[in-house]
Amino acid sequence: MTQLALVIDLNVCVGCHACVTSCKEWNTSGSSGFMTDENPYGKDPTGTFFNRVQTYEIGEFPSTETLHFPKSCLHCEDPPCVPVCPTGASYKREEDGIVLVDYDKCIGCRYCSWACPYGAREIDETQKVMKKCTLCVDRIYDESLPESERKPACVLACPTNARLFGDVHDSSSEVSVTIREEGGYQLMPEWGTKPANHYLPRRKTRMHIHEDELQRADNPLKKEERGPSKPVDGPTLDDSTSW
């Protein structure tokens, strides 16, 4: 079984919001209709987004770290939003594990958004239907695009390559290997939703230099170094021979 998902590397994300804007750009131009933007230049701008980048401060000054945290639908393997939907508009695809909303069936009752602990679902205030990240399902299978571009818009936009896309059920895929080897984790594991999207933790790259690495006992330079030659008492070759 395939389960497409994103792996987001928090070690690399710089919080530039490029994934947010490219997501909005791609999806607002999509076949399923625009994504609402009310008062985009006014006092209280509001609208529908599938992806947000948040910022957290970890620790207390002066020993603080800034964490930029992109958040979108996690395409849970056991999605709590799907069984509660009264119309069947919310569903999880068998073939690739993407959780989608059928905008033609949704009645806008908001129950699925109550049932998502991550707040990944946002109702579109104009179309009055629930919307969420589609993992760019209209893009990743589009054969009119070159194969390298058949990825979610956010993945392509990320300037630091913090977003990986692939099948987390294929144990040899790039995303699976990364999750395994770089300590990929899931959000709110306490609810048993088994999010397909994983996050890679912040990883400090430290140099460990031991003292004897600075003062190497077997320093080859020292081995080859010659001390000053001692003065010679006896007759030298020069003394005994005369030309």
Partner 1 sequence: MHPAFSVIFLTTLIGVGQGMFLALFTGQSYSAVELLPSQDSTQFYGYGAIIALLFLIGGLIASFFHLGRPERAWRAASQWRTSWLSREVIVLPILMFLVFVYAVMHYLGWDSVLFTSETGARLQLTLIVATLGMLATFALFICTGMIYACLKFLQEWHSPLTVINYTLLGTASGFVLATAFSQHNAPELMRFYGIWSTIITVAALITRVASLIRNANLKSKSTVQTAIGVRHNTIKQKAMGFMGGSVNTRDFFNHASLVLMKSMKWIFLLLVFPLPLVLLWLGMHENNATLLFSAFIVQYIGLLAERWYFFAQANHPQNLYYQTV
Positions that interact with partner 1 (CB under 8 A): 17, 20, 39, 44-49, 52-60, 66-67, 69, 71, 80, 82-89, 105-111, 113-119, 122-123, 125, 127-129, 185-191, 199, 201-202
Kindly tell me which of 90 and 176 has the beta carbon lying closer to partner 1: 90
Kindly tell me which of 145 and 188 has the beta carbon lying closer to partner 1: 188
Q: Which residues contact 130 (CB under 8 A, 6 or more apart)?
A: 89, 90, 101, 106, 108, 110, 112, 113, 121, 122, 123, 124
Burial of 236 (0-12, 13-18, 19+ CB in 10 A): exposed
CB of 171 to partner 1, least distance (A): 22
The answer to whether residues 150 and 139 touch, using CB atoms and an 8 Å cutoff, is yes
Kindly tell me which of 83 and 159 has the beta carbon lying closer to partner 1: 83
Kindly tell me which of 37 and 170 has the beta carbon lying closer to partner 1: 37
CB of 129 to partner 1, least distance (A): 6
CB of 197 to partner 1, least distance (A): 11
The helix/strand/coil state of 87 is coil
- Alpha carbon distance 29, 27 (integer Å): 5
Kindly tell me which of 30 and 47 has the beta carbon lying closer to partner 1: 47
CB of 187 to partner 1, least distance (A): 6
Residues in the chain: 243
CB of 158 to partner 1, least distance (A): 15
The answer to whether residues 21 and 28 touch, using CB atoms and an 8 Å cutoff, is no
